[in-house]
Structure 1
Amino acid sequence: MKNILVAVDFSRLSDRAMDYALSFARRYDSTVIAAHVISPALYATPSAASMYGGIESLPYLDGVRRELTHRLEE
């Protein structure tokens, strides 16, 4: 197995999935690819949707990128 794709949303359960994927990757010399996912329920209200829309999402995505990079480098 060369690549392992892990969906993360920074929940406790996705943290466990990431830990498992990293452990598996070390054992089999695989690459972990982390994909940040957002629940469609977050778009249920206009105020929630605005949190992820337009230019305002860039700082949020930068934070996600930093967090995932940190987790993958551990």
Structure 2
Amino acid sequence: MKEIDRLAALLFPMENNGSRVLDLKFFPGEEPVTVDEFCREVHAGFVQVDSGQSVSSTTFPEDLTQVSVDRFISAM
């Protein structure tokens, strides 16, 4: 099974069992990655939470400074 298929099955299971994805955010890192690398790491993170190796959080503090889109694009 491809990594993207494993991740999709984990995020959107056919048998829901009461779980659901409400809001999932990924932020770009500093190094380029392939789709398979990305999916493998995300899947590993979910497995760690599900197995109790890592704790999950229901909140995410967002204390970011807003930047206009024009300024953001010009910096690229």
Work out which structure has the larger RCO, using CA pairs closer than 8 Å and 6 or more positions apart in sequence.
2
Structure number having the greater helix percentage: 1
Q: Which has the higher strand share?
A: 1
What TM-score comes out, normalization by structure 1 length? 0.33
Query: Which of structures 1 and 2 has the bigger CA Rg?
Result: 2
